[in-house]
Amino acid sequence: MRSKHYQQRIKEDPETLLAKEKNIELARLKDRVRLLRLLKAGIVPNLKTAAEAVGISERQATRIWNIYKKRGLSGLLELKYSGKKSKLDKVTEELLIERLANKGFENLQEAKIFIEQNFGKSYTLPGVWTLMKRLKKQAVDATIGALPSIKPTEKKSNARKSAKPAKKANSRKTKPVKETKKQSKTVKSSTAERTNEKKKSKTRKKEE
C-alpha cells in the first residue's frame, strides 16, 4: 500500500501521535504509536519500511496495523487485547495457590487431575504448565513464614557435630589397650633378663 492510503486511514494527526508517543513509558506501546506516526506523516512509503524504521518485523507491523483498523488507537494501546480469559476465577486460583503452598504437586498430571476433580475445569498438560508458572510466584510468597525453624542443612550439621565426640571416645578406648600391650612386653623382657642373670651367677659359683 502507498503512504497516502495510511495517511487517510489514520485518524490522528502526527502532532497528536508524537505527544502520545512521548507520554508512553512502555517501549512496546511506544513503538506502536511511532509506527502510526511515521505512516501518517508520510516519512515512510509503506508498512515494511515503517517496520524497519521502528525496529520490528514486518509481521509485527502488519498485526499492529490490523489491530488499529479494528479497534483504533485506544485498542492498540491495550496490552491484553488478544489474551485469553482464565478458566479459573479469582477464588479458585486462591485455593489452588493454597494447595501449591502447603502440599504442591509431584507432576503436571497430578495437578491436571486435581483441577478437573475439584474445580470441574479441563486443561491440557501445556495449559497446566502455563497456569502453574503464572501462580508459582504467589505460591512461593505464601510459604514464607510457614517454613520450619530447622532447615535440612542445619540438621545435617547437628548430626555431624554429635558424631564427632563418638569418634573421639572410641579412639580413647583403644589407646589404653595399646599401652597395656607395650607394658606387658616390657615386663616380660625385664623378667627374662633377671632369670638370665640368676643362671649366670649360679654357673659362676659352681665354677669357683
* Structure confidence by residue, pLDDT tens digits, 90-123: 888 888 888 888 888 889 999 899 998 888 888 8
All three cell numbers of 45, joined, read 512509503
Residue 17 lies in a domain: yes
Residue 158 lies in a domain: no
Q: Do 71 and 26 fall within a single domain?
A: yes
Q: Do 12 and 72 fall within a single domain?
A: yes
Looking up cell 490522528, which residue turns up? 12
Q: Do 72 and 125 fall within a single domain?
A: no
Q: Write down how long the chain is.
A: 208
Domain with 121, as residue range(s), is: 90-143
Taking the whole predicted model, whether its pTM rises above 0.85 is answered as no
Residue 193 lies in a domain: no
Concatenate the DSSP letters of all residues of 170-190 into one string: HHHHHHHHHHHHHHHHHHHHH
Looking up cell 497516502, which residue turns up? 4
Q: What is the pLDDT of residues 47-75, one digit of tens each?
A: 999 999 999 999 999 999 999 999 999 98
Residue 189 lies in a domain: no
How many folded domains does the chain comprise?
Answer: 2
How high does pLDDT run on average in the chain? 75
Residue 154 lies in a domain: no
